[in-house]
Amino acid sequence: MDGFKGIILISCVTLAAGAAAFSENRKGNLQIMTDVRPAINYVIHHQAQDVTVTQEDIEKGYVDIQKAFVYSISTNSNNGHLLLFAYDGNYVKAITLFDEKNTYLISESDNELHVPYQGSDYITKEWTFRLHLLSDLKPGTYKLPVAVMLSAM
């Protein structure tokens, strides 16, 4: 092991001496390229846990949950981030998402939502869920049948 450390030390001294010898009047450019992997940092402020469904909701065909999912997120990805949804089809046939400006329909075959890049600072998103109920659902309180995953793009 001591022999290996000696070889490393000699190599470093040789490289440093060689670099000093060639650095006197020489100029040059150094270009470094790298790939930066997309990353996200997020904090979930609120995620609804339960939903109460009334007979009136069943007759309407849906129930709204205000601010069902609230989070802050920061990403280095110019492509933004992705929300992936999974839901229990025993209660819900689709989900409509509302934020302050837009409406999106989430279904079993289209369960991703791309959120465009809005800068590297933290942004806060508040989503209202409209659960489109199955007609044979009974009134009651249910565990929220929706799971959300965040991912950098």
Q: Domain residue spans in the chain?
A: 40-152
Model confidence over 102-128: pLDDT tens digits? Answer: 999 998 888 999 999 998 899 999 999
pLDDT of residue 87: 87
Q: How would residue 89 be classed by pLDDT, with cut points 50, 70 and 90?
A: confident
pLDDT of residue 16: 55
- What CATH code would you report for 40-152? 2.60.40
pLDDT above 70 (res 7) = no
Among left, alpha and beta (phi > 0; psi -120 to 50; other), residue 100 is alpha
Q: How would residue 100 be classed by pLDDT, with cut points 50, 70 and 90?
A: confident
pLDDT above 80 (res 13) = no
Those residues with Cβ within 8 angstroms of residue 50's Cβ, 6 or more apart along the chain or in another chain: 141, 142, 143, 144
pLDDT above 90 (res 41) = yes
The span from the CA of 94 to the CA of 106, in Å, is 6
pLDDT above 90 (res 96) = yes
